[in-house]
Chain A
Amino acid sequence: MKTAHVHALYVHGKSPVHDLEAHVKVAAMLLFVFAVVATPREAFWAFAVDAVLLAGAVRAARIPVRFLFGRLLVLIPFVLFAFLLPFLGGGARTEVLGLSLSIEGLWGAWTILAKATLGVTASIVMAATTEVPDILLGLDRLRVPRLITAIAGFMIRYLDVVLGEMHRMRVAMLSRGYDPRWIWQGRALATSAGSLFIRSYERGERVHQAMVARGYQGHMPVFNSGSAPVGSWARAMTVPSVAWVVTIVSLLT
């Protein structure tokens, strides 16, 4: 029955990265991304080191390269923007192959391409090796407010249910010969989105009732999966710590 699925990034498999505790991975990923973002744009060597580190992580996590490139497509609008920058940018200009390009614009394009690619890849490594419920538990452990993780948990739990309902409504529409494609035909689509909202809202009320029936008094119980051993931290933190050393060195030189 269920044809609509949201594919989270998780890649089934066994690897040293899969085995690491979720909160350790999330923390490592955040630290790494901030190291990349803080790296000055002239430090080509620093980005090269970061890229090598990340490639090592991708290998260790046994993430298929094809999958990785597929997910990098989310960057396309920004890549286009990056390619426009050398033409739009102000400041001094330089001649490349007969084109007059802004130096600032070239730097901007380079910065966006390098940092965004490294950032997305780091996120993918984390998300591809951590099951969704574990990411939520990891965020709990990292002291993200319970209200946020609880709402996110409900959202993820019911995403497929809501998409399934959306899909069935669309099938019902198609089966009666209506196939809206354009915005001026959006009325039917939006009307069914209205009933989708009502269904989602009413399900929210029923879920609340089911929670109350099992003794819910306004506080979500906390399930901690135990703390991570020092070894996990040490292993996971190698990548971001090297990245930060690189960043600091490149900032000082």
Chain B
Amino acid sequence: MHIPDGFINGATSLGAGVLAAGGLGAALRQGSRALKDRQIPLAGLVAAFVFALQMLNFPVAAGTSGHLLGGALAAVLLGPWMGIVVLSVVVIVQALLFADGGVSALGLNIINMGLLTAIVGWGAFRLLMAVLPKRTASVVGAAVGAGWLSVIVSSLGFVVAYALGGSGQAPIGTVLGAMTGVHSLIGIGEGLITGVIVAAVLGVRPDLVYGAQKYDLEKSRRLTPGRTATAGFVALGLVVAVSLVVFVAPFADSNPDGLERVAENQGFAATAEDSVTAESPLADYGVSGVSDERVGTIVAGVIGVILVFAVGVAILAATRRKRSRATSNSGP
């Protein structure tokens, strides 16, 4: 989702630009400290690889298609800092050379597609690895989860930007529902592809998977297609179940009119009357611009995702304990 110019107002775009520059600068400093001069050509090659992958579209449902973002993938393969750098360079090149994504929205796009996907992807990966057994199949499963979550958080980033400075005042609840709903599906594709790519690399050059370097996978059995498939299906099943519960159910069952009416009463009636100041930068920082309800909705969404993820992690941890107890009982 490359945001064009004018979609988000100038002040928010500019603020996002500052934030993105700071984040990217930090990633560059951290990345170059850890990775040395060899990494410049490497980062360029991996950026070309991510760009090529993003050109592959996969059908999601009902005529919509998604393409890979690649942030979680890059983070698992290269580490979070290089992941951020690589994705940001991809976004910058797309804006300047291919007019894909507005140049004034560059900061927003870097945050959504570079910073958020790599950081969240990496965080989710590490968290899942912390509770999963340290096996090759777990690395693949964790990559699936990381890919899925990174897409949803990226779409949440879009919703937050829209809430802060979006044009047209579409009810945030509706935007949130539509975005996260669609992206929880797109995320499945992202997760699966991330997982299979990580599995393929693990099979040939496990040393290239940064995320797996910490774990002594030598001890685990070699990755067989059957085991990857199982890991993939378990992760996918979890992801689908969780998506349905969190994103589809509430928006299908609850009363969207209610959300709209709240938004109408609280936020937009005021801005509609005074639209000149609404467009001025200060309006966005005013109380009326960001109504409590909208923030509440987003916070609820974010908390929802985190909760779901925590529940998933807890389930995994529980099954693991059960399994290890089972193996210790049966063992000598």
Which residues of chain A have a CB within 8 Å of any CB of chain B? 6, 8-9, 26, 29-30, 33-34, 36-38, 40-42, 71, 74-75, 77-78, 82, 84-85, 88-92, 102-105, 107-109, 111-112, 114-116, 118-120, 122-124, 126-127, 132, 135, 139, 145, 147-148, 150-159, 161-163, 166, 182-183, 186-187, 189-198, 200-201, 203-205, 207-208, 211, 216-218, 220, 251
Contact = CB atoms under 8 A, between A and B. Distances in A.
A190 B194 CA distance: 8
Given A37-B9, A159-B52, A162-B52, A190 B197 contact: yes
A interface: dominant SS: helix
Contacts of A192: 200
Nearest to B96: A135
Nearest to A167: B52
A42 B275 CA distance: 9
Nearest to A203: B45
A161 B100 CA distance: 21
Q: Give the interface residue-count category, chain B.
A: 35 or more
Contacts of B10: 34, 37-38
Nearest to B38: A208
27 contacts: A9-B98, A29-B103, A33-B103, A33-B104, A37-B6, A40-B276, A41-B279, A42-B275, A85-B167, A85-B168, A90-B269, A104-B168, A105-B169, A108-B168, A115-B7, A116-B4, A116-B6, A116-B7, A120-B99, A191-B199, A194-B199, A195-B200, A197-B197, A198-B205, A198-B208, A208-B37, A208-B42
A162 to B, nearest CB: 5
Contact of B170 (A26, A33, A108, A166): A108
Contacts of A89: 168-171, 268
B90 interface: yes
Contact of B189 (A78, A127, A183): A183
A91 B102 contact: no
Given A37-B10, A204-B46, 7 more contacts: A8-B97, A119-B4, A123-B95, A152-B47, A194-B197, A194-B204, A197-B200
Contact of A88 (B47, B174, B197): B174
A204 B100 CA distance: 26
Interface string B152-174: 00000000000000111111001
A133 B174 CA distance: 43
A217 B60 CA distance: 47
Contacts of B250: none
B212 interface: no
Most buried by B among A9, A71, A103, A147: A147
B170 A88 contact: yes
A163 B55 CA distance: 10
A218 B36 contact: yes
B268 A104 contact: yes
A249 B92 CA distance: 32
A193 B99 CA distance: 26
B328 to A, nearest CB: 34
Interface stretch (B259-267, B299-307, B318-326): B259-267
Nearest to B86: A151
Nearest to B61: A183
B288 interface: no
B201 interface: yes
Nearest to A41: B279
Interface in B33-50: 36-38, 40-49
Nearest to B272: A91
Contacts of B199: 191, 194
